[in-house]
Every structure is written in C-alpha cells, then in structure tokens.
Chain A
C-alpha cells in the first residue's frame, strides 16, 4: 500500500522543520519589507496563508525533482526560480483597499505588486545583492531593463519555473552580481 501523501507532513521529514521555518521567514519577512519599501503598506497586506501555499508548492516541486534527478540539495538558482515562480502564480500581496490618488501617482506599478516582488525574489535569492556588483553602474541599467521585460512576461505570457532557472543560468554566464552561496 502506498504511503498517505495527501497531507504535507512528509515535507518536514524530507526538508526538516528548521529549514522550512527559515525559508518561510525569508519570504514572509521579505514580502513585508517589500510593501514597506515600496510605500504601499497602507493599501496592501501580505497574506500569510498564501505564503504557506507558496512554500508547500515549492517544497513539493523540489521534493519530486530531487527524487528524479538524484539531487541531494537544490542549487541556489533552482531555489530562486521555483520560489519566484510560485510567488507570481499565487500572488501573496493583496490590495486591502483602493489606493488613493496620491498612492497611484507615487506608485504607478501597483497593478504589478506581485510580479515586482517575484522579480525581487528571483534575483535576490540567486545573486548576492548585498555584495558590490561585478559590473559598472551603467551596465546595471541593462539588468533593470531586463527585469521590466520579465515583468511583462510574468503578466502577459506563460511562465514556468524551468524557464526561470535557465534564465538565471544564462545571466550567470556573465554575472552582474556574485552568486549567493553559504560560503563568505
């Protein structure tokens, strides 16, 4: 008889409670910081339950991949790609009231709050943005332009996690920031 996998308890066995809790903190706290930094905390909120769902979907995906591809630990670009994918799919940041005129003027991107957050996660979880960039500021503008194109894709095209992972590996051919690693 196959084991009961209708609950997600197996994820705690496979990934450990500490790992899942630590990852939850990255995403949940990151989303709360995002709405603060973007100046939209008055009219938006981070939905904790949707963050739960994002992490369940993410870990269920990675669990299947680890089994098929014989992976011990997923590499950071895979982590970033699959997390970002589920954020743009699940949309954890919700409008809780209509933005006023001033907010709309200050934050014209309010239609794409989740897409912008997914992009922030994609790049910040794959590359160490706390370290100095590897290229001059003039070149970094290209990364912003690319992120805006990606936002269009998130909004109007079909996106999948594998494509995001390949995209990150493509950027790593000539990286603009160091890859994120546990080492110093």
Chain B
C-alpha cells in the first residue's frame, strides 16, 4: 500500500521543483582567483624555508 501524502505536501514539492526550474536558487561559489601555480617558485620557497631560522625553530623543541 503506497503512502498517501496530503495536498499541502504535494504542492510544496511541486513549488520546490518550479523554483529549481525558474533558477530561483543560485549555487554559492567559493571565491577563487584563478592563476597558474608556479611550481618552480614553490621549490625555491621550500628550499629557503628549510634553510631559515624558522625551520630550525620548528624542529628545535620537544613539544608537539
């Protein structure tokens, strides 16, 4: 036996579909500034960090 929904629920479902079709809802995009990632610069940056006092400090103590 199939479940019998009342008219209010059926109308609400139809209104929902209409709102999708009418493009009432807009996707929220995460802000992003598209740009090519500079891989070689990343290697230089990483090398500089490994040679820095900050890297030594990060490795220096015994606390997590």
**What residues of chain A have their CB less than 8 Å away from a CB belonging to chain B?**
19, 22-23, 25-26, 29-30, 33-34, 37-38, 65, 68-76, 78-79, 107-109, 111-112, 116, 119-121, 123-125, 127-130, 140-141, 143-144, 147-148, 151-152, 155-156, 180-182
Are A124's CB and B45's CB within 8 A?
Answer: yes
> Cβ of B58 and Cβ of A119 under 8 Å apart?
yes
In the complex, the answer to whether B35 meets A76 with C-beta atoms within 8 Å is yes
Dominant SS at the A interface? helix
For chain B, the bracket of interface size reads 20 to 34
Give the Cβ gap from B29 to chain A, nearest Cβ, in Å.
5
Q: Is the CB of B43 within 8 A of A26?
A: yes
Q: Is the CB of B32 within 8 A of A129?
A: no
**Apart from A34-B50, A124-B46, A155-B64, what 7 extra A-B contacts exist at CB < 8 Å?**
A71-B34, A76-B37, A108-B62, A109-B59, A109-B61, A130-B45, A140-B54
B55 near A120: Cβ-Cβ < 8 Å = yes
Q: Is B1 engaged at the interface, CB distance under 8 Å to the other chain? A: no
